[in-house]
Amino acid sequence: MNDHLSPYEVTIDLYRDWLNTVKEVFRGSGVEFTESVTDDDLAIAYFEQTSKSEEEAEKLSVDNEQRLFAIQQTILERLEDVIVPDIRKRTGYEGNQFHFQWVFQQGEHIVEQCSKYRIPL
């Protein structure tokens, strides 16, 4: 997802990171999904664990996907003017490669892997 006009090489797919975490959570509880499971089915299955109905799970799934895409878009839009300067100030990282990843570690965070910069959500 690199804008060819930007001096930065950016890797970011927050929704995919979230889905991969969901797979790991299910795997850790003994539930395996086939390779053919769709992203939508996986997300709905996750939200069905705490929802009152399939319709509520579907709504939560859509809301979560939209939220993660909005966060991703904000990161990309504010990369040059806010995020990179803050990364450089706080971590001393001087590179131009950035790999942002959604993680759940005592709450939701976006971690930039090259600098270990963390954005709590």
| Domain residue spans of the chain | 9-120
pLDDT recorded at residue 77: 96
Predicted TM-score (pTM) of this structure: 0.91
Q: How far apart are CA 113 and CA 51, in angstroms?
A: 33
Q: Which two tokens stand for residue 108?
A: 């939701």
CB atoms within 10 A of CB 100: 24
pLDDT recorded at residue 3: 47
Query: Along the 121 residues of the chain, how does pLDDT read in single tens digits?
Result: 544 568 999 999 999 999 999 999 999 999 988 889 999 999 999 999 999 999 999 999 999 999 999 999 999 999 999 999 999 999 999 999 999 999 999 999 999 999 999 999 9
pLDDT recorded at residue 4: 55
Looking at the chain, list the stretches that DSSP marks H as alpha helix, in order from N- to C-terminal side: 14-28, 39-48, 54-78, 84-91
